[in-house]
Amino acid sequence: MANINLLPWREERRQELKQEFMILLGFAAGIAVVILLAIGQLYSMSIDNQNGRNNYISQEISQLDAQIREIKELETKRDQLLARMRIIQDLQGNRPVIVRLFDELVRTLPDGVFYTSVKFEEDDRSINLQGIAESNNKVSSLMRAFDASEWFVAPLLTSVTASPKDGENANLFKMTVTLANPDSEEGDE
């Protein structure tokens, strides 16, 4: 029988299989490295893309903040202009009222009574009057005239003192009268 040594063949086969395994292992490692690099590149691109979007959003937010500040400034200016317009309208609307008020003060003033001071208190819409009357009867006539007027209510005499330097029966008086609501009188004007 022939002497066949199978051991070296097996050893060679083992070496070939080991070499194939190492090649396949290297190939698999190379593919794994390529896949990992590709995934890393995808994540990197995704992060860069998200950072770009975040920067865009930040820029848009800063533009919107600037617009909001501008809008607030415009609203403040508008409110100031509206307040000015209201003041002007109030002044224009009160012009006839003030004229009517002074006219009414003159109409209620009886002969022999003179005002020395007229002061309007806006808080309670009252008028503080000081004046000189020829007699106590003239002060009473003034109070009745205020009672009869539609523009004045609640005349209150606070003091009456004799003033001989202004006349024999002359009296200094202080009086407060409240202004009635002129809105109800706007139809007369």
Q: What is the CATH number of domain 109-180?
A: 3.30.70.2830
Phi, psi of 44 (to 5 degrees): -60, -45
- pLDDT at 145 exceeding the cut of 70: yes
- pLDDT at 28 exceeding the cut of 70: yes
Phi, psi of 4 (to 5 degrees): -110, 125
Residue with tokens 């100031």: 80
Residue 29 or residue 2, greater confidence: 29
Residue 58 parent element (H or E): helix 7-108
Average pLDDT over every residue of 81-106: 81
Q: Which two tokens stand for residue 6?
A: 């199978």
pTM exceeds 0.75 for this model: no
Q: How many CA atoms lie within 13 A of 31 on its CB side?
A: 6
What is the SS3 assignment for 181? coil
Rounded Cα distance, 183 and 102, in Å: 16
Average pLDDT over every residue of 67-82: 96
Q: Which of 15-24, 106-115, 134-143, 172-181 has the highest mean pLDDT?
A: 15-24
Residue 169 or residue 39, greater confidence: 39
User: How high is the pLDDT of residue 185?
Assistant: 46
User: How high is the pLDDT of residue 61?
Assistant: 96
